[in-house]
Amino acid sequence: MASGNAIRGSRVGAGPMGEAERGESAPRNRISFWCANKHETRPSFAAEAAIPDTWDCPRCGFPAGQDQHNPPAPSRNEPYKTHLAYVRERRTDADGEAILAEALAKLRGEI
Ligand SMILES: [Zn+2]
């Protein structure tokens, strides 16, 4: 009659909880980035996260790269090019002539 109490007191099945809790200090990588103004920023990334090529410098907003001696060039001041500007740049005079010649050929029934 006393043996039943002994089993109940040991709480069989409530095993140690330590295993699942250990993940709280997941490994993180601290990566240094340098901007063109030589500011260093060291964001940390989860070990399985993809490290970006560039990181925006929190101090000046320039793009920062992982190569301290070759930081990415700040390109923020570059004027934004419209689609039309790209088209104009691409379509040279030679292209225009070729298009014209093709149109003329079509008119003559050569194509
Ligand atoms: Zn900076």
CA angle 11, 16, 21 (to 5 degrees): 140
pLDDT at 31: 95
In 1-111, which ranges are E strands?
A: 28-30, 33-35, 40-41, 44-46, 54-56, 63-65
pLDDT at 19: 47
Q: Are 35 and 64 in contact, with CB atoms under 8 Å apart? A: yes
Count CB atoms within 10 A of the CB of residue 43: 16
- CB-proximal residues (5 Å) to ion ligand 1: 35, 37, 39, 57, 59-60, 62
pLDDT at 35: 95
Structural domain boundaries in the chain: 26-63, 78-110
pLDDT at 63: 94
Binding site for Zn(2+), by residue number, is: 35, 39, 57, 60
How far is Cα 33 from Cα 53, in angstroms, rounded to an integer? 9
How far is Cα 35 from Cα 59, in angstroms, rounded to an integer? 9
> In a structure prediction context, what are the per-residue pLDDT tens digits for the chain, which is 111 residues long?
555 555 555 555 555 554 455 555 678 999 999 999 999 999 999 989 999 999 999 999 999 999 999 999 886 555 566 777 767 766 677 787 888 888 889 988 876
Q: Cα(48) to centroid of ligand 1, in Å?
A: 27
- What topology does CATH give the domain 26-63? Rubrerythrin, domain 2 (2.20.28)
Global pTM reads 0.46
